[in-house]
Amino acid sequence: MKDRPELPRSAAPVAAARGRVEVVATPIGNLADLSPRARESLQRADLVAAEDTRRTGQLLAAFGIERPIVSLHTHNERARSADLLARLAEGVTIALVSDAGTPVLSDPGFELVRSAAAAGHEIVAIPGPTAIAAALAISGLPVERFCFEGFLPARPRERRARLAELAAETRAMVFFEGPHRLAESLVDMAAAFGADREAIVARELTKAFETVYRGTLAELGMRVTADPNMTRGELTLVVAGLGRGAPGQEGDAAQEAAARLALERTLRVLLRELAPSKAAALAAQLTGARRSDAYALALSIAESTPG
């Protein structure tokens, strides 16, 4: 299938009609998770905008659905959204899907949804599977408050800087990661958050080989080097927030100890690249610590670090 097929058009376009975008969640692995409402949406849509036309074609075929499909992925989203806006102006209904799960969440679709909403078209959610909620639900960690961080930067320096910014985060954190970067990401997380921070690595959620690895970041980091299966398939990580990584961390003393630990971990990451004064200034902003305390600790760490 060509990347830019001619978009099918209705026989009698209606000028300035109000179109409709249905953001449809599709299974993240198990086809039985496609909801009846999602199936109905795909059946009645005038057009399906898909991250991967081949993969979506297979999904539709599995349910006996035949609809026109066009690609909408990272590399063509802005240009293709303009074409789709023209179709929405004719009054068509577009079903937006990603390869798996809920579109827009670390998947294409933002440009289309934003521009369609700005143009006054109807945007409707057809909720369903998402690896984010699935991983949180089975994590066994405190997740009443959480933040979704998606994929970390691929470059080590940028990844470590981002993790340093999250060192004082008290909410549970959800990450996506590729198999080839899992080991180094776990090492960097242990350095930024502490080796004893609790976490899970959820692999192949809802699929035949679904596996959940539980432990501290240090334990998970060691296990990934010994278990080749851990780096196979799609991975979702949930990391406990600061002060929530181990049962029983309560009270002012524990909070103060956790805050100092967060400051120290942040400084150790920043001191790899920055002078103590600059590292202290940035660490104070990231953790909320006093700059004088951060600077004193930075000097202490610098003096005790070889080289």
Residue 45: is its pLDDT beyond 90? yes
Q: Report pLDDT for 247.
A: 47
The encoded tokens of residue 111 equal 């440009």
CA–CA–CA angle 276, 278, 279 (5° rounding): 60
Q: Report pLDDT for 30.
A: 96
45-49 mean pLDDT: 97
> How does 87-105 read in b/e, with b if 16+ C-beta sit within 10 Å?
bbbbbbbbbbbbbbbbbeb
Render pLDDT for 266-277 as a digit per residue (tens, 0 to 9). 888 889 889 999
Residue 60: is its pLDDT beyond 50? yes
Q: Report pLDDT for 246.
A: 54
Render pLDDT for 202-245 as a digit per residue (tens, 0 to 9). 999 999 999 999 999 999 999 998 899 999 999 999 999 998 76
Render pLDDT for 103-155 as a digit per residue (tens, 0 to 9). 999 889 999 999 999 999 999 999 999 999 999 999 999 999 999 999 999 99
Mean residue pLDDT across the chain: 89
Residue 12: is its pLDDT beyond 60? no
pLDDT band at 14 (very low <50, low <70, confident <90, very high): very low
Residue 194: is its pLDDT beyond 50? yes
pLDDT band at 53 (very low <50, low <70, confident <90, very high): very high
Amino acid at residue number 128: G
More confident residue, 266 or 17: 266
Crossing angle for the helix pair 251-270 and 156-165, nearest 10 degrees? 160
Q: What are phi and psi of 148, to 5 degrees?
A: -105, 120
Most confidently modeled of 205-214, 259-268, 296-305? 205-214
More confident residue, 80 or 249: 80
CB 224 within 8 A of CB 156: no
Residue 249: is its pLDDT beyond 50? no
**Residues 268, 162: Cα–Cα separation, whole Å:** 14
Q: Report pLDDT for 6.
A: 54
Q: pTM of the predicted model, to two decimals?
A: 0.75
Kind of pairing between the strands at 172-177 and 235-239: antiparallel
